[in-house]
Structure 1
Amino acid sequence: MRYLSTLFLLVVIILWSSCRKDFESGPSMGNLQFSTDTLYLDTIFTNIGSSTYSFKVYNRTDEDFTIPEIALERGENSGYRLNVDGIPGKSFENIQVLAKDSIFVFVETTTDITDQTTETEFLYTDRILFDSGGNQQDIDLVTLIKDAIFLFPSRDAMTGEVETLLLGLDEDSNEIRIEGFFLQDDQLNFTNEKPYVIYGYAAIPSGRTLTIDAGARVHFHANSGLIAANNATLQVNGEISNDSELLENEVIFEGDRLEPQFSNTPGQWGTIWLTAGSTGHIINHTTIKNATVGILMDSNDGGTAPTLTLTNTQIYNSSNVGLLARTGNVQGENVVINNSGQVSLNCSLGGTYNFNHCTFTNYTRIGTLTRSLPSVLIDNNLQISDTEVLTADLIEANFSNCIIYGNTDLELLFSRVEGTTFNYNFKNCLIRFNDFNNNFTDNPLYDFTNTSLFENSILNQDPDFKDPFENMMNIGENSAANGMGSTPTSGSDILNTPRNTNAPDIGAYESTSFNEGN
């Protein structure tokens, strides 16, 4: 009897299953719907893979159906790659879509521009065809491919090992190396004809100068950067641009991902490293963005002239520090540093610093956490182990007509070890320093009434930035910085707007720049 009951139940299940509609589906009849009709994969460099993009294919009907064929129009020769409902390939057959349901189609591309054109930019297109004949529907695929000059370490043909640079020895006398290479003599002038894409660290050899022309674009792959070796020099010759958005004459250092979602992502590449003994660096009309450390500077060259002269330069979205100078000798004017994961400007382990008409701010967002470090940190010490602290003289740190601000209460901090020189002066500066808990009331380093340290300082007044979270650091008509700079002065702001010689504005921007809509 038990056998008959089991047999009856099995028959019922088989009969019920044979009536289910999801085991029966006819072909689609040109009635697919899509979340887009054109998929733009944005801009990529030749031979560098894109991000993954997706769209949805909908079955809005009350019946299950099967798409007989999905394929790229260029077939197997297409530079695009598909993944349809979890299946990779370039063509697919009999893809089922249930009633009132949808499937995902994912798209990527890697394309060699030299296979297509002799131009430096090429619009690469294809179509995804759904079904054929009278029922055929399609989605257009569009990608702008840029040609570039690629610089990268060599690879040993026998061992497969990648070329490296020796940085020094660790405490156990083991070599410290990173993937990198020395630029050759014919690579020491970056022009604006094509972008440069660097893999690993490109090093300027000792006694050589890397010259970068106005309008050049330099892109770095992940964990890559630029190094100036002992007695080497970096000269960046950007110029004022006519278009404040295109920045056609400015030199730009950034990552090699060109898609919009990467435009303000910190930490995409390493740093511009001006090592100890490198000298005579000049950086003008330049934007450095999305690095780990924008500029890392080790020591000065012992002379009276600045090791680094930084003018009309912006450093944004560094995941750690915008400008980190250890015993540096830096002169800066019309410099803007904003949105750094830790500190925007760190004058560390002493040194010599002179900044005029600069804007050092930090409005970076760290989730729900409060940033613990200030926009500007000045110190004369560096802890290298649990028991050892290096110290050096802070010969001078002079800030004139500068804005030091951000979205935390204390945006200027000092770290001093006694027994060494620690000289600093702030003149006509707008500073955010809200000591609500009175932690610094008795600390003479923060005596803002001491005119030998702080002359004509403005504390905790609104700078009226245009949009600091988006790195728009122009100041408006209501800024507390308006007309509060020291006089006399001459020259122009970072946008080449002439400064008011009687009452210039504090910071890198004259407020007229903002009023004119820039």
Structure 2
Amino acid sequence: MRFLLPLLLVLSALVTVLLPGCEPKEDIVTTDSSARLEFALDTVKFDTVFVSVGTVSKRLWVYNRNARAVRVAEISLQNRPGITYSLLVNGEVTLAARDVEIRGKDSLLVLVRATIDPTPNDLKPFLVVDDLKFRTNGNEQVVKVLSYGQNAYFHNQEEIRRNTVWKADKPHVIFDYAFVDSLVTLTIEPGARIYSHAGAALLVGGTLRCNADFRPTGELKPTDRNFVRFQADRREEFYQEIPGQWAGIWFLSSSRDNVVRFTEIKNSAFGLLVLNPKALRPFPAVTVENSVIQNISSAKQQFTNAGVSVGLDGAALLALSGNFVARNVLMANCEQSAVTGFLGSSVQLDYCTIANYTTQANRQTPSVLLAAALRINGQLQTAAPRLTVRNSIVWGSMREGEELEFVDGEQYAANISISNSVLKTKKYDNTGVLGQRKSGNILNPVEGPTYLFKSTPFRFRGKTLDYQLDTLSVAGNKAVPLPGLSTDLLNRLRNPTTPDIGAYERVNP
């Protein structure tokens, strides 16, 4: 045994001397000109980029299929006039990376980011193409980089202190906020597109007239270019239906006579929020007509300003001591409530459709929520709210099957009127606070073999959601005509004697 250790040392030395080098093959750099790279994409494509604003980064995976390592002499972009690209390679932001090694049978991730310069003569999106070049062992390989640029009006912490018109010739992009001062009117033209950065809001202390004077002459399509559209500024396909990307449109206590018509609001924390926590009179008022509000976040927001602190969950329409009149409005896919009214607020829904299907969150609150009491600065304050619902649908995916909630409703039951509507509710059946069957309402219809809507997240999955009425919908021909409301959300004529319930009239039922 005493000779074992010296013997092992000798054998170890012999192995080191006699065996060839054992450096792993994948670490040996080849200079063979046939050693080429492969790419996950032949073109790196950016969605429309607002000029002067950087994009998100796009990924490009680069593969070395060779057994040995390769050294990429240069990774670079041409950066043609009018556009600036930057690269992120191995954790380093650069315009050009050099001598980058990729081990055998390994890969490299390259991130590309673009910024496009303004082009004053271009109002429509314009195409910008560049080449991302890889030079390896004398070979040059190219991946195309393709971007669409678009000029825009930018509103960065902008305070609007005189009557202003937002035109539709270029998109509008809001950073942080745009504030409409009291006694000032902001008018938004038909067809305007408003994109908001993360957390940004349109704050209205005066008056908002959004598409207020648009008068269509015939039936519209949901994609009609005359609709004003509010959404987040993330243009990638993944973000097209994600709630909570921006803060929404907020009407402050000094706001008056607001009109929102033929407008789509999506992917925000709030759709339309009336924020009047001190209950100042007269209450801010908003009329909403022929509009769509959808994909609203459930995240609670804490509002602290002028000595007032209050927390509120997101909603399509939320009134805190404010008044809403909504006609021909679709409110869909809110992560919590669609309509909320607190502290003396008044909400009127005529020919509205609430289709509150939630697939991204576990919804805890019903679609329509009213409460007389709310804590402001930790103190409970009380004022009876008012709700009028006519010819409307209140439906959703709450597991308990309850889409109405009137907190302490017995105290203000006289302020609640719901008639000729389709309701998902067990609590407010033909007994208790509301005897709704006596008002022409249809309660808790069973879906199947007929359905309320053409397509929902739980019916025909994968299809485009469509909350127009199914051909045999129970809501068909069950409404009562209302004065001045002879057309539906898409400006289609309603049946003059037996119209359909909800925001949409069926076509050739």
Q: Normalising TM by the smaller chain, what interval?
A: 0.7 to 0.9
Shift of 1:456: 3.3
Cα distance, 1:492 vs structure 2: 1.1
Instruction: State yes or no: 1:266 paired with 2:243.
Output: yes
Q: Residue in 2 aligned with 1:483?
A: 477
Displacement of 1:418 in angstroms is: 6.1
Partner of 2:211: 237
Other structure's SS at 1:444 match: coil
Alignment partners' CA distance in 2, 1:117 and 1:8: 80
CA contact (8 A) 1:391 1:417 kept: no
Report the Cα offset of residue 247 of structure 1. 3.1
Relative distance call for 1:473 and 1:199 in structure 2 (3 A) is same
Which residue does 1:468 correspond to in 2? 456
* TM-score w.r.t. length of structure 1: 0.82
Deviation at 1:184, TM superposition (A): 3.5
Alignment match, 2:331:
337
Listed one character per residue, the Cα deviations across residues 366-422 of structure 1 (whole Å, up to 9, x for unaligned) are 45x3x2101111222213366x3211133x421111000011111111112665575
Find the aligned partners of 1:11 and 1:445 in 2 and give their Cα distance. Answer: 95
**Contact 1:198–1:221 under 8 Å retained in 2:** yes
Shift of 1:133: 9.6
Q: TM-score normalized by structure 2?
A: 0.83
1:231-250 CA distance string (max 9 Å, x none): x2111116459873543111
- Separation in structure 2 between the aligned mates of residue 488 and residue 250 of structure 1, nearest angstrom: 24
1:289-368 → structure 2 map (5 Å cutoff): 289-298=266-275, 307-319=285-297, 320-367=314-361
Q: 1:60 aligns with which of 51, 60, 65?
A: 65
> Paired residue for 1:457?
442
Unaligned stretches of 5+ residues in structure 2: 298-313, 458-463
Distance in 2, matches of 1:277 and 1:65, equals 66
Cα separation, 1, equivalents of 2:224 and 2:266: 14
Could you tell me which residue of structure 2 aligns to residue 128 of structure 1? 132
Give the secondary-structure state (helix, strand or coil) at the position aligned to 1:22.
helix
CA separation in 2, counterparts of 1:151 and 1:11?
76
Q: Deviations over 1:4-56 (max 9, x none)?
A: 96586467458654553234221353632221111111112112221221122
Q: How has the CA–CA distance of structure 1 residues 53 and 8 changed in structure 2, closer, same or farther, with 3 Å as cutoff?
A: farther
Report the 3-state secondary structure (helix = DSSP H, G, I; strand = E; otherwise coil) of the residue aligned with 1:81: strand
Question: Within 2, Cα distance between the matches of 1:137 and 1:404?
Answer: 58
* Distance in 1 (alpha carbons) for counterparts of 2:429 and 2:288: 34
Runs (5+) with no aligned partner, structure 1: 154-180
Q: CA–CA distance in 1 between the matches of 2:419 and 2:430?
A: 22
- Asked if the contact 2:67–2:105 (Cα under 8 Å) also holds between the matched residues in 1, the reply is yes
Letter in 1 for 2:456: P
Alignment match, 1:162: none
1:134 to partner: Cα distance: 7.3
Aligned equivalent of 2:148: 144
Tell me the SS of whatever aligns to 1:360. Answer: strand
- How many angstroms apart in 1 are the aligned matches of 2:59 and 2:204? 42
Does residue 374 of structure 2 align to residue 382 of structure 1?
yes
Matches within 5 A, 1:189-208: 189-208=165-184
- 2:110 pairs with 105, 110, 113, which one? 105
Q: Secondary structure at the match of 2:316?
A: strand
Q: Partner residue of 1:414?
A: 406
The answer for the alignment partner of 2:500 in structure 1 is 505
Output the CA distance in 2 between the equivalents of 1:17 and 1:108: 43
Amino acid at match of 1:225: A
State the aligned residue count. 471
Please say if residues 432 and 461 of structure 1, whose CA atoms lie closer than 8 Å, have aligned partners that are also in contact: no
How many Å apart are 1:182 and its aligned residue? 2.1
> 2:272, 2:317 → 1: CA distance?
5
- Shift in alpha-carbon separation, 1:425–1:242, aligned structure 2, 3 A: closer
1:405 matches 2:400: no
1:475-510 per-position Cα deviation (integer Å, ceiling 9, x unaligned): 220211111111466521111111111221110011
Partners of 2:219 and 2:40 in 1: CA distance: 39
Summarize deviations over 1:113-171 as a string: whole Å, max 9, x none: 24x96555332221111227973221100111111111123xxxxxxxxxxxxxxxxxx
Are residue 20 (structure 1) and residue 24 (structure 2) matched? Answer: yes
- The residue number in structure 2 matching 1:391 is 382
CA distance in 1, matches of 2:49, 2:222: 20
Give secondary structure in 2 for the equivalent of 1:261.
helix
2:82–2:116 contact (8 Å) kept in structure 1: no
How far, CA to CA, are the matches of 2:428 and 2:290 in structure 1?
Answer: 34
**Structure 1: distance between partners of 2:88 and 2:13:** 38
Q: How many Å apart are 1:213 and its aligned residue?
A: 0.7
The amino acid across from 2:336 in the alignment is Q
